[in-house]
Structure 1
Amino acid sequence: MPEFRPIYKSHAIEKCAATVAFGDQLPKKVFGQLLESATPLLTANGLVQGQQPSGFQFDVATGKVSPIDGHGPTQFSSENNVVQLHVLPDAIVWGTKQYLRWKNFRQDFQKSTEPLLSEFDKATNVSSIKLEYWDRFFWQGNWDDLDIKKLLKSDSELSIKAAGQFSREWHNHVGWFETKNFGRRLINVNIDLISINSPTATDQPSVGIYTMVHDQTRTDAERDELNTLSLIKRFDQIHDEMKHLLSQVLTPSASEMINLNSGE
């Protein structure tokens, strides 16, 4: 009988991204100095600075349009473009399309962003952090014999609502806020059943699962509270939360297939 299989042998993660946003933007001169000092280290870690995006800024008060000169959002990436680091005046985004395990992602994130984060820390507080996962599974049969209940729990409020209404492609979106002592947490669980042309099959049913946890602050007091715990420990907590979220969506056999409860 056909079954679902993850995109990779040991896990289903297509990509993963961690975002750290700050309460204030760095001044242009300070941000330029940060990029200049960090570039040699990032290059040593195998990341190459990409071409800065060109653009314009609009002054609402005067109506003046002027080009953005230098020191805007800057991207660094590995030569194969699998790993990307986006550095903005008020945020850092680290992402990879070659995920192994959380400990590897965590180590690479720390190694490349620590010098950047320490410079931001001198001028402003972290205001929000976000972790995102994109998981993908492929059905080994066709649309006629597709059995979504082999992947998604039939009694889960997060996953199966759209499955009973549509025989082919569908999208299911669930999101909510939770009150925290540092402000609020936004949680999203989005599921898409789509058709994909892969190297081995045409019109192959595939399920993509997007999970996101975003811890947000709105006041200085909430930012102080968010920063009482180290950034990496916050991400560790969010990672555990996201594993729990995915376990509420997947069947026990699917969770076992990707070693979801392995403790990594």
Structure 2
Amino acid sequence: MSANNPVAFRPLHESHAIEQVVISVHFANVLPEEVLRAGAASMLQFKKELGGQQDITGVNLSLGPGGVAPMVLPSFQGQARFATDNAGVLLKELRLEAQAIVFRSQRYTRWNALWKEAGKYLEALLACAGDAQIASLNLQYTDKFLWQSSPGSCRSDLLLRRDSPFVAPRIFDAGDLWHCHSGRFERLNDAVQRLEIVDLDCIDEGPEQPGTEPTRAVLITTSVSDRFNRPGYHAVDFPARQALAGINEVFNNLHTQVKSVFSQIITDEISDSIGMNDVDVE
């Protein structure tokens, strides 16, 4: 916010705008039931910090030449462990799913601290997965910015770069809510295909009190994935049991790329307000 623009966006938190971070490992095939049960047993060691527990159930469908058909899944499809605050709001969750390990946190501080925690969970579950081949590694951030005046006066150009390659120009003239999606594949090298996805959503939240206006907000979801054994790429052997040494470097690189993409979306003023240019920000 500046003297020339007394009304502007503020980040969700005092020092950053991050609402949620999701770190995930996806496997090429459905994990056997014995692997899922071993992983669930291993997750018991995190009971103190992730006190909530819920088995994963549901029906998965696949779309093929013959139409929609149920996927063949084990009778036990995984487990989630989670932590909530006193009001029951989710703080963080670790999920072992039929074809993925997913950790998400809504209490972000710094990347190094988050990765230290997530890495501990991944290490335990990847050890259980053994020879299961890893298909992709994904990092996703969702940032939220709140407009500080009436919804109808919202100016997206005070948050988003007009010349950003990730922002559709027409949203700057939108008088109502809007959504913008972009995505692209990049050949990182002969073995790795990178996928970048950006979703921008202008939404109204609330109102908190009857008779008052809702709060207009813009969500920026930035996702970067490294994908392996894709058509046209060199085949690689990437079993879970050998992934522990390599995923630290991959996820740090994904984090760097997410920051790079995000910096191309928001204005310099917003970037300065959340310390994106500070050397010690992780």
User: 2:3 maps to what in 1?
Assistant: none
Shift of 1:130: 0.7
Given that 1:24 and 1:90 are in contact with CA atoms closer than 8 Å, whether structure 2 keeps it comes out as yes
Between the aligned partners of 2:221 and 2:16, the Cα distance in structure 1 is 14
**1:88 counterpart (97, 111, 114):** 97
Q: How much has 1:46 moved relative to structure 2? A: 3.0
TM-score normalized by structure 1?
Answer: 0.86
- Of stretches 97-106 and 71-80 in structure 1, the one that deviates more from structure 2 is 71-80
> Offset of 1:208 from its aligned partner?
0.8
1:161/1:172 contact within 8 Å kept: no
Normalising by structure 2, we get a TM-score of: 0.81
- CA change 1:138–1:2 in 2 (3 A) is same
In 2: Cα distance, 1:53 partner to 1:124 partner: 21
SS at match of 1:46: coil
Counterpart pick for 2:198 among 171, 177, 189: 189
Out of 17, 27, 31, the residue aligned to residue 26 of structure 1 is 31
**After the TM superposition, which segments of 4 or more aligned residues of structure 1 sit over 6 Å from their partners?**
none
Q: Does 1:101 align with 2:106?
A: no
| 1:246 equivalent in alignment to 2:262 | yes
Partner of 2:250: 234
3-state SS, counterpart of residue 26 of structure 2 = strand
CA contact (8 A) 1:54 1:68 kept: no
Contact kept, 8 Å, 2:39 with 2:96, in 1: the verdict is: no
SS in 1 for 2:169: coil
CA distance in 1, matches of 2:99, 2:58: 18
Count matched residues: 259
CA-CA distance at 1:51 after TM superposition: 3.7
Q: 1:147 to 1:33 in 2, by over 3 A?
A: closer
Structure 2 residue corresponding to 1:48, chosen from 52, 66, 80: 52
Aligned to 1:99, what secondary structure does the other structure show? Answer: coil
Shift in Å at residue 11 of structure 1? 0.7
Q: CA deviation at 1:147?
A: 2.2
- Of 248-257 and 68-77, the range deviating more from structure 2: 68-77
Matched letter for residue 84 of structure 1: E
Q: Deviations over 1:7-66 (max 9, x none)?
A: 111111111101101233332223323322x032121443432143255899x99xx99x
Paired residue for 1:224? 237
- For the aligned residue pairs, the C-alpha RMSD in angstroms reads 3.0
**Corresponding residue SS for 1:174:** strand
Structure 2 unaligned blocks of 5 or more: 1-5
Q: Percent identity?
A: 25
Give the secondary structure class of the aligned counterpart of 2:47. Answer: helix
For the residues of structure 2 that align with 1:136 and 1:222, how far apart are their CA atoms? 39
State the SS of the aligned residue for 1:105: helix
For 2:114, give the aligned amino acid.
F
State whether residues 20 and 92 of structure 1, in contact with CA within 8 Å, keep that contact through their aligned partners in structure 2: yes
Seen in structure 2, the aligned counterparts of structure 1 residues 108 and 2 have a Cα distance that, compared at 3 Å, is same
- Give 1:145's aligned residue: 153
